[in-house]
Structure 1
Amino acid sequence: MTKPRIGVIISSTRDTRFADKPAAWLMDKVKDHPDLDFELIDLRDQNLPFFNEPASNLWMPSSDPNAVAWQEKLAGFDGFVFVVAEYNRSITGALKNALDQAYKEWNRKPFAALAYGSLGGARALEHLRLIGIELQMVPLRNAVHIGGGDFFKVSPLGADAPMAEIEEHLEGSLKAMLDELTWWARTLQTARA
């Protein structure tokens, strides 16, 4: 069995987003992971239309070529880590649209998250987990949350310090998340085969 492939999806597309900083930190931490291969996926680069198909691709093929390309991209992954921005107590509209553009390609795959915001993106991640269940994904318990003082320390809304300034606060949750993601990605990769 090949190493499970994990897509790391940046969920915010705003010009002034914070997501690039924690995403770069995460990709640096997982670049030499012994059990998983990671690839960064930026929703800015996907050129997804607003969902406008007659039905989900569970029921009929999508007609928009950008949606089909997105589905084909997702199909090649064995799991996902979402870099989750919290907007008004939920996920971004761009992420919800990206989730809606596929169905079968999300099924029976685990997902974890690196969430951020004043409350660590916890409310957005709670919504994402509910959506993931409907998409027949396996939402993981462990996640990395950047919230409170840590968020304002590294965010441009605060001190804009480097991620290294808060790294020691995140390492325990990162290890727990990656251990859980490895187990589920391998288990579900085998089961899907």
Structure 2
Amino acid sequence: MSQSKPKIAVIIGATRPGRVGGSVAEWVHRIASTRDDAAFDLVDLRDVSLPFLDEALPPSLQQYENEHTKQWAATVDGYDGYVFVTPEYNHSTSAVLKNAIDFLYTEWNNKAAGFVGYGSAGGSRAIEHLRHIMAEVQVATVRNQVMLSLFNDFEDFTTLAPQPLQTDAVHAMLDQLIAWSSALAPLRTKGE
């Protein structure tokens, strides 16, 4: 971690059958991959397969008992920053994304996050909730965000067809995310 080029995870925050989050994250990843100022990976919570939080001790102690938690900790720890691709369910983010965040603490610390939301209100309320959650795990969130409307950026509410301005929004968010991920690197290496 903390190489000259930040390593950024694009996390798909939905696992439900028929989700559009996969196509949204792949679109973000394609745009990000055209850049040479960071390395980007897709991380799908479907592949992580975490149960509801099942660790006996608080995550801040890093005394994980379960192999799935240890694997998730290693994954999260390997990145300098994150792009959270989130649906909006009932004015918030998905339970699976909140659960994945709650499993860990230290692995998130002193990193940066950007957000891509989608829903009837562009995922704005999900993003706002995620900002509060990220603050608690000591992740700095960037101001620029991408909000995809089911009415304007999808065909039949399911097929991603983003307006051209959304590509610019992704780049603006990534500009901030990469800068902040790099700026926070000294805090992450302080204890090493």
What TM-score results when the alignment is normalised by the length of structure 1? 0.91
The alpha carbon displacement at 1:191 in A equals 3.3
Unaligned runs of 5+ in 2: none
1:51 corresponding residue in structure 2: 53
| Aligned residue among 85, 98, 101 for 2:87 | 85
2:63 corresponding residue in structure 1: 61
The alpha carbon displacement at 1:31 in A equals 1.1
Secondary structure at 2:93's aligned position in 1? coil
1:130 corresponding residue in structure 2: 132
Q: Answer yes or no: is the 8 Å Cα contact 2:62–2:106 preserved in 1.
A: no
Q: Answer yes or no: is the 8 Å Cα contact 1:120–1:151 preserved in 2.
A: no
How many residues are treated as equivalent by the alignment?
Answer: 187
RMSD: 1.5
The alpha carbon displacement at 1:62 in A equals 1.3
Between the aligned partners of 2:97 and 2:14, the Cα distance in structure 1 is 7
Unaligned runs of 5+ in 1: none
Between the aligned partners of 1:37 and 1:92, the Cα distance in structure 2 is 26
Residue identity opposite 1:176 in structure 2 = A
2:166 corresponding residue in structure 1: 170
**Following superposition of structure 1 onto structure 2, how do residues 5-44 of structure 1 map, counting pairs within 5 Å?**
5-44=7-46
Q: Answer yes or no: is the 8 Å Cα contact 1:110–1:138 preserved in 2.
A: yes
| Aligned residue among 96, 112, 119 for 1:94 | 96
Q: Answer yes or no: is the 8 Å Cα contact 2:9–2:40 preserved in 1.
A: yes
Between the aligned partners of 1:146 and 1:186, the Cα distance in structure 2 is 27
Q: Answer yes or no: is the 8 Å Cα contact 2:88–2:126 preserved in 1.
A: yes
Q: Answer yes or no: is the 8 Å Cα contact 1:117–1:151 preserved in 2.
A: no
The alpha carbon displacement at 1:73 in A equals 0.8
The alpha carbon displacement at 1:84 in A equals 0.7
Deviations 1:36-84 (A, max 9, x none): 1000000000121210222222125111110111001111100000011
- Which 4+ stretches in 1 moved above 4 angstroms? none
Secondary structure at 1:27's aligned position in 2? helix
1:188 corresponding residue in structure 2: 184
Secondary structure at 1:129's aligned position in 2? helix
